[in-house]
A = this chain, B = another copy of it.
């Protein structure tokens, strides 16, 4: 269950409050130089930003203990580990009895009687740290084939970036703590997050991801189609509640004569619009692949909430006072990029 991909395959391990998290990454071709500086930059983008993020501080130093010889892949599996340093599990034990609304506590305890609830145990967003590290390597692998991926924050709570954004605009998001494309959006979104935080509350948002450079016909079909596998990977990111390609749900209100992207000739075949988000029949149609994913508000909030007491089977209350992000979206941006890169790298190696 902790494994993504078939040929480029990532196997996660670790828990929020164990000694480390990490993964094995199989299938990266031998002879590839791995730029560890780039991994570091990607990890930095995932780290919580002072003010709008959790006060939990992890340096997230990525150690690639196996699979590299002088920075070059040897074709064997890469062992990636990231230490957990700033753990504090003391506040979690009560959630075994009073499961937190919006969290996996309730089904996790039904399924795994030995569930380690501290920090969410194996459901913790902490496991997305090695996903970002592995995704960074996958991004380097596919960049060599001319494929670039960039995600950004499309909305936070009520603040929605309504402009069309292309790959270059999305790339600007690395400059802003909220991963908005512009400074103005960044300040509005920051305010939205701080407002919620000041009330002991949280907000959700939408991440948009743009991939350029996929050749026409790239990707599997039917049950291995590119959009199927990407949506599965994105839904496995904690807190994701929706995925849509191109116009997505908006397309359901259109007429076919509007939604069909007309082709024309321009150094090859191009489409005049991109309502399909670059996907036809599960494969790339050569246009930028564009999808959005919805993230729910962080379920951990300081406000008191209704829950049940599982020992007594009576109604009860719970408030979550641990260290949490009032909005997970800015950090999810890196994770969305990472899983997209992993799926594309995998489909590439599978010859799809």
Using a CB–CB cutoff of 8 Å, the interface residues on chain A facing chain B are 1-4, 6-7, 9, 11-15, 18-20, 22, 24, 26, 30-31, 65-67, 69, 72-79, 99-104, 106-116, 121-123, 127, 155, 157-158, 196, 201-206, 215-225, 227-229, 231-233, 235-236, 238, 241-265, 269, 271-272, 275-277, 280-286, 292, 294-301, 303, 305-308, 310, 313-315, 349-352
Cα distance A77–B196 when bound, in Å?
36
Which of B251, B286, B300 contacts A296 (CB under 8 A)? B251
Which of B19, B78, B99, B220 contacts A65 (CB under 8 A)? B19
Q: How far is the CB of A3 from chain B (nearest CB, A)?
A: 6
Which of B201, B292, B297 contacts A251 (CB under 8 A)? B297
Q: How far is the CB of A207 from chain B (nearest CB, A)?
A: 9
Q: How far is the CB of A180 from chain B (nearest CB, A)?
A: 14
Cα distance A7–B224 when bound, in Å?
12
Number of copies: 4
Knowing A13-B77, A223-B4, A297-B254, say if A260 contacts B102 (CB, 8 Å). Answer: yes
Which of B107, B196, B223, B257 contacts A255 (CB under 8 A)? B196
The reply to whether B263 and A308 contact each other, CB–CB distance below 8 Å, is yes
The reply to whether A255 and B349 contact each other, CB–CB distance below 8 Å, is no
The reply to whether A31 and B114 contact each other, CB–CB distance below 8 Å, is yes
Knowing A227-B235, A235-B227, A349-B351, say if A283 contacts B108 (CB, 8 Å). Answer: yes
Question: Which B residue sits closest to A104, measured CB to CB?
Answer: B281
Cα distance A14–B24 when bound, in Å?
10
Residues of B within 8 A of A20 (CB): 65-66, 79
Knowing A66-B20, A116-B74, A204-B259, say if A247 contacts B236 (CB, 8 Å). Answer: no
Residues of B within 8 A of A351 (CB): 7, 349, 351
Q: How far is the CB of A206 from chain B (nearest CB, A)?
A: 5
Pairs A–B under 8 Å by Cβ, sample size 23: A1-B352, A2-B24, A3-B223, A13-B66, A20-B66, A31-B114, A74-B114, A74-B122, A102-B261, A106-B286, A108-B283, A110-B215, A110-B217, A122-B221, A157-B254, A203-B254, A222-B236, A231-B243, A241-B276, A252-B295, A256-B297, A259-B296, A260-B297
Cα distance A241–B243 when bound, in Å?
9
The reply to whether B264 and A111 contact each other, CB–CB distance below 8 Å, is no
Residues of B within 8 A of A224 (CB): 1
Beyond A2-B24, A104-B282, A256-B297, 20 additional contacts (C-beta under 8 Å) are A3-B26, A3-B223, A74-B116, A76-B121, A106-B263, A107-B281, A110-B217, A122-B221, A201-B256, A204-B253, A205-B252, A206-B249, A229-B232, A244-B294, A248-B249, A252-B296, A262-B305, A265-B313, A275-B296, A351-B351
The reply to whether B255 and A297 contact each other, CB–CB distance below 8 Å, is yes
The reply to whether A265 and B315 contact each other, CB–CB distance below 8 Å, is yes
Residues of B within 8 A of A303 (CB): 256-257
Question: Which B residue sits closest to A76, measured CB to CB?
Answer: B122
The reply to whether B66 and A251 contact each other, CB–CB distance below 8 Å, is no
The reply to whether B254 and A12 contact each other, CB–CB distance below 8 Å, is no
